[in-house]
Amino acid sequence: MKFSQLILYSFILFLFSVTYSCHEHTGSKLPELNNGKPWIADDSTRMGFQKMDKLFHHANSDESIEEYHKQADQITSIINEILSSCTMTGQGHEELHKYINLLLEDVHTMKGDDIDLAKKAKSNLIEKISKYPLYFE
């Protein structure tokens, strides 16, 4: 394995651990609304979710496990971009992390070796990404 790949994978693992440990108390719950309305997201978050939606708007049953792994890496990269440039604060920021944790659960499953679980996880991920406007604007 190249040194640069090792650094990249270490960084991704670090971000996963920070995301899960910092917000472990949120668990796998859906985000709460802001008094019944979506939270105002910052530009980087909106752009990141738009990018995910464009890349992952449909499921394809003919994909290989390697393709699911590649797609999981792409989603992880977009999530890392969102997290690294996020300017949100307060409760809206906490709710965003709840939502991202839900996405990361499916991303983690897509990185596994079971193609049937990866297919289901991708379908779940697409559904969750499409529901982003219900919680954030």
Q: Kindly give the confidence (pLDDT) of every residue in the chain, 137 residues in length, as a single tens digit, with 9 standing for 90 and above.
A: 555 554 545 455 444 444 444 433 344 688 999 999 999 999 999 999 999 999 887 767 789 999 999 999 999 999 999 999 999 999 999 999 999 999 999 999 999 999 999 999 999 999 999 999 999 99
The domains of the chain are located at 41-135
Look-up of token digits 């640069």: 4
CA 28/CA 98 separation, integer angstroms: 7
CA–CA–CA angle 58, 62, 64 (5° rounding): 105
Q: What is the dihedral of CA 136, 78, 73, 102, to 10 degrees?
A: -20
pLDDT at 23: 39
For residue 103, what are the contacts with CB-CB under 8 A and spacing of at least 6?
75, 79, 125, 128, 129
Rounded CA-CA distance 93/90 in Å is: 5
pTM to 2 decimal places: 0.77
Inter-axis angle of helices 43-55 and 65-85, to 10 degrees? Answer: 170
